[in-house]
Amino acid sequence: MAEHDCKSGQGISKTVRRCIVGYRPKGGDRSTPQVNIAGKWLREAGFDVGTGVSLKVMDRCLVLIPDDPEEKPLRELEQQLKAQRVELDHALQRMWAALA
């Protein structure tokens, strides 16, 4: 997806940003790394508030990919279908248990 959707910083005010890897302050375990990014530049890059994000993890590289707005209803439908599948599986288990 990133191979064909990414644009090389066109229209972005600053294409290289820096941040520091910290730890999860409320996680208790200071060995768990955490990265926080924030700024209006995220909107310029296609990451508006409420946008779903996929994270591609590679060796020493993270790529954030904003979801296409058309994907949100599909992802919600997928979650609903998964929940219905779980309900059906439980109902089937109860039915088999009742027949046993």
Residues 52, 85 within the same domain: no
Rounded to whole angstroms, the Cα distance separating 45 from 89 reads 42
pLDDT of residue 62: 93
Residues 53, 83 within the same domain: no
Which residue in the block uniquely carries the two structure tokens 């997928």? 78
Rounded to whole angstroms, the Cα distance separating 72 from 52 reads 7
Residues 49, 93 within the same domain: no
Average pLDDT, the chain: 86
Residues 21, 51 within the same domain: yes
Pairing mode, if any, of strands 61-66 and 22-23? unpaired
pLDDT band at residue 9 using 50, 70 and 90 as cut-offs: low
| Number of domains the chain is built from | 2
pTM of the model: 0.55
pLDDT of residue 71: 81
Q: Which helix (H) or strand (E) holds 66?
A: strand 61-66
Residues 3, 32 within the same domain: yes
Question: Is residue 23 classed as helix, strand or coil in its secondary structure?
Answer: strand
Query: If you count them, how many residues does the chain have?
Result: 100
**Structural domain for 82, as ranges:** 70-100
Average pLDDT over residues 1-16: 62
